[in-house]
Structure 1
Amino acid sequence: MPIDPTLIRAIAELGVPAPLPSNDPEEQRERAFAYERAVYPYLGPAGPELPIREHVVPVSGRPDVAVRLYYPREPAPELRLPACLHFFGGAFVQGGLHHPSVAAMCALRAARADVVIAAVSYALAPEHPFPTALEQGWAALDWLVREAGSLGVDPGRIAIAGQSAGGNLAAALTQLNRDRARHPLALQILEVPGLDLTRGAGERVTDGITEAELAPLGTAVDRYVPRVEDRHDPRVSPLLAQDFGGLPPAYIFTAEVDPLRDDGERYAAALAGAGVPVTAMRLLGLPHEGGMYERVSGTARVAQAAIAQALRALHDL
């Protein structure tokens, strides 16, 4: 199935060319940020103004990590709200909490589900390759559980979510948590995740995808995991884990026109085979980033409504 023509038309009418890749990571980040600033306000919804609190969490042996908390209302310790630790996307090398889509999505989910969204500003590759971002994520999770009372969060109702590269980190973190501490995670939400970084472009879904669109995938993996032998580590490729038991219930969203589609669908099958409750949704007609374009895609609106409903269900635990 081709990309949704409504989405194609909306992007074409903007007349903003997609950012070209660059060998300079900083230049690539600037191009990606400029592109998103130009297109997102027309394709995606704005987020509401919410109370925000900034925190810096120390990380053993790694750079400290900033965590931004989006509250659906003014925070107070007595609230004891559910929370969701969120990891943005960007192929491990770009993106961040300053991007319009990330800020809007975090605020929208906090408001729609009446939960605290704890967005992790993890370090980017190649300056900070694996395992820095994952260890920062672990420190953020451990901090969120330990400090839950003072943050107005219920430590028994915490979810983990991530988009694209952030979905990889979220999935890896659920496995790491199971093996290290077993903090009681209630839910994982993985959106268009890349979960097997050992696979080359030729081994992935290519329907409707050009070679030029596939090339950045290999570059991203090289920058995040420069040692090829490390790519078989389940902390890098969660799909290669030997054990999927004991992980939190999952919502997994894949996009039909996306080279990473099979990763999410295979992971859903692996979790289900291990007895983990899974809901999997393929977003028909959408490319990798299409799930955030709610202004122009009915499919994206359905997906985001499903995520909000999953997060609201944390209140019932």
Structure 2
Amino acid sequence: MRDLVDPALLPGLELMPALDLEEAYLPAIREGMEQASGAMPEPVGTGVQWRDEQVPTPDGHAVPVRIYTPAGSGPWPAILQIHGGGYIVGSVTTGHGMMMTLAASVEAVIISVDYRLAPETPAPGSVQDCYAALLWLVDQSAQLGIDPSRIAVAGQSAGGGLAAALTLLARDRGGPAIVHQNLTYPMLDDRTCVTPQPDHLGAFVWTPQANSFGWRCLLGQEPGGTNVPPYAVPARAADLSGLPPAFITVGALDLFLAEDLDYARRLIEAKVPTELHVYPGAYHGFDVMPDAPVSQRMKNDMTIALRRALHGD
């Protein structure tokens, strides 16, 4: 099935081999990802400054966040960024360099959330951490140089699922207002685990086995069941009306293709302005090859959508 992959993306399959995930392996996988992310050089010439902060929560724990501030003077729009990792791995170091580049190109302050991971913290702990960061962002907007009327949420994979869930939670709690949701190959629906998929979807990187494991860790139960924790599975929300405009991207070989297409359809039917991009020959996480033309197209499409939402470009 490698013949279906965009040739420019083939080397990425060596960087991200599919894993048979088990809970016993998680500490080693997390450590390896942190080491790999930490070894990546920062992009030069962005003018972006970054620092780490701690966000207090009502139950007494703190949520680490990493703040990226572009050069110049604000007030800036803000992007609440939520990293990927199947709900079970990843941190603010995931995509650190990409966040520096994005803050400069979009001209926005980015607040990246180091939410608690499953299975140690099952749902709804992760989305509650993201909501605490959103509230803090608004409360500290003057100190952060942020215009609180221009806030977007963005995420990749599980982070895209959390970004979608966060918009639902913020809508139902009456704010803060979010002007845009930017979802990159989002992980939205645990029912994909019990729905047969064509063999070529999910053949690479994030497989059906990995997907079942990630959802099982987050939900604390087998995926695809009758009941799930609130705000854990955005695709299960009965009402998608009143949500912020959405931008959704997914590769044509991604296991999440069908659920992302269906979520975009439901948003459109709920009268939510929605932009959808499907990239041929692209597997899950294909932008691990940032110089591939298809990755450049996705980055450009995402940047345009964010600038339009936050600056009116």
Q: After TM superposition, is the score higher than 0.5? A: yes
- Is residue 2:167 matched to residue 1:169? no
**Larger displacement relative to structure 2 (22-31 or 157-166):** 22-31
1:204 Cα deviation from its structure 2 partner:
3.6
Matched with 2:5 is 3
Task: Indicate how the Cα distance of structure 1 residues 36 and 217 shifts in structure 2: closer, same or farther if over 3 A, else same.
Answer: farther
- Is residue 2:228 matched to residue 1:232? yes
Give aligned pairs, total: 305
Q: Which amino acid aligns with 1:60?
A: P
Work out whether residues 125 and 223 of structure 1, in 8 Å CA contact, stay in contact via their aligned partners in 2. yes
1:214 Cα deviation from its structure 2 partner:
2.2
- Is residue 2:141 matched to residue 1:148? yes
Matched with 1:95 is 90
Secondary structure of the 1:110 match is helix
Task: Indicate how the Cα distance of structure 1 residues 55 and 242 shifts in structure 2: closer, same or farther if over 3 A, else same.
Answer: same
Secondary structure of the 1:287 match is coil
Work out whether residues 201 and 217 of structure 1, in 8 Å CA contact, stay in contact via their aligned partners in 2. no
- Normalized against structure 1, the TM-score is what? 0.87
1:34 Cα deviation from its structure 2 partner:
5.2
1:236 & 1:130 partners in 2: Cα distance?
Answer: 6
2:17 & 2:158 partners in 1: Cα distance?
Answer: 23
- Is residue 2:261 matched to residue 1:265? yes
Task: Indicate how the Cα distance of structure 1 residues 246 and 217 shifts in structure 2: closer, same or farther if over 3 A, else same.
Answer: same
**Larger displacement relative to structure 2 (131-140 or 200-209):** 200-209
Matched with 1:186 is 179
2:16 & 2:250 partners in 1: Cα distance?
Answer: 25
Question: How does 1:1-317 map onto structure 2 within 5 Å?
Answer: 2-8=4-10, 10-11=11-12, 21-24=21-24, 25-33=26-34, 46=43, 48=46, 50-61=48-59, 63-73=61-71, 79-99=74-94, 102-200=95-193, 202-207=195-200, 209-210=202-203, 213-228=207-222, 232-233=228-229, 235-295=231-291, 297-313=292-308, 314-316=310-312
1:35 Cα deviation from its structure 2 partner:
5.9
Task: Indicate how the Cα distance of structure 1 residues 157 and 217 shifts in structure 2: closer, same or farther if over 3 A, else same.
Answer: same
Work out whether residues 93 and 124 of structure 1, in 8 Å CA contact, stay in contact via their aligned partners in 2. yes
Secondary structure of the 2:190 match is coil
**Tell me, which stretches of 5 or more residues in structure 1 are unaligned?**
none
1:234 Cα deviation from its structure 2 partner:
5.3
Work out whether residues 124 and 229 of structure 2, in 8 Å CA contact, stay in contact via their aligned partners in 1. no
2:116 & 2:164 partners in 1: Cα distance?
Answer: 17
Deviations 1:166-187 (A, max 9, x none): 0110000000000002222110
Q: Which amino acid aligns with 1:226?
A: G
2:17 & 2:35 partners in 1: Cα distance?
Answer: 11
**Tell me, which stretches of 5 or more residues in structure 2 are unaligned?**
none
Q: Which amino acid aligns with 2:209?
A: A
1:165 & 1:237 partners in 2: Cα distance?
Answer: 10
Work out whether residues 67 and 120 of structure 1, in 8 Å CA contact, stay in contact via their aligned partners in 2. yes
Q: Which amino acid aligns with 1:139?
A: A
Work out whether residues 247 and 275 of structure 2, in 8 Å CA contact, stay in contact via their aligned partners in 1. yes
Work out whether residues 19 and 35 of structure 1, in 8 Å CA contact, stay in contact via their aligned partners in 2. no
Q: Percent identity?
A: 31
1:62 & 1:210 partners in 2: Cα distance?
Answer: 42
**Larger displacement relative to structure 2 (183-192 or 47-56):** 47-56
1:150 Cα deviation from its structure 2 partner:
1.5
Q: Provide the aligned C-alpha RMSD in A.
A: 2.6
1:194 Cα deviation from its structure 2 partner:
1.2
Task: Indicate how the Cα distance of structure 1 residues 2 and 200 shifts in structure 2: closer, same or farther if over 3 A, else same.
Answer: same
**Larger displacement relative to structure 2 (182-191 or 156-165):** 182-191
1:113 Cα deviation from its structure 2 partner:
0.9
